[in-house]
Homo-oligomer: A and B are copies of this chain.
């Protein structure tokens, strides 16, 4: 098994560990491996251990009562999955988590996390900051969803993901995934995109987007 790169993990990077192996042995954790497209976590599952994604990448999505899918995010190792929910009064996962490739998950019991937090202030600080950043992310998602038109969402999203210099940039989602991210129907998204291209506001080449008319794009926010 490939060694876990703790230094790259937003909540573990501050752990000063001489021997990672010993540290991991010390944690009473279990490790599980999944294949591509495996459903790792189901919406509503009990969340009583920190699920650390140590290898691979996953997608998270919420499934509404009516079957509509809202894509939340794509997560690459190493990163904890929904760490905040470990401490909530209703500790159930709010999302489905699906493997996008070969994936390895390390489950660390809640008590171990508590112990780490109390004995290591750097870990606690990192954990707090990571959760705070997750909240920030959710807030951004809320803002995006509250925009009523698809072109408005696109404008907000593209402006946020561009460098602001008119240079091309990559959006690492296909149309179907983008539509799920926005919570809209795929053909509707395609229509909006092609109209924006026709109007000369943007150009698209596969996953490479270019903003041709920033002013026009900003006007779509209104």
Contacts and interface: CB of A to CB of B under 8 A. Distances in A.
A211 interface: no
A99 B64 CA distance: 34
A83 to B, nearest CB: 9
A136 B85 contact: yes
A70 B138 contact: no
B62 A132 contact: no
A49 to B, nearest CB: 15
Interface centre among A118, A139, A183 (most CB of B within 10 A): A139
B124 A88 contact: no
Q: How large is the interface on A (under 10, 10 to 19, 20 to 34, 35 or more residues)?
A: 35 or more
A72 B143 CA distance: 10
B183 A148 contact: yes
B135 A85 contact: yes
B65 A156 contact: yes
Interface string A96-134: 000000000000000000100110010011001101111
A64 B143 contact: yes
B148 A86 contact: no
A190 B118 CA distance: 51
Interface centre among A86, A128, A141, A147 (most CB of B within 10 A): A128
Interface of A: 62, 64-66, 68, 70, 72, 84-91, 94-95, 114, 117-118, 121, 124-125, 128-129, 131-136, 138-139, 141-143, 145-148, 152, 156, 183, 218, 221-222
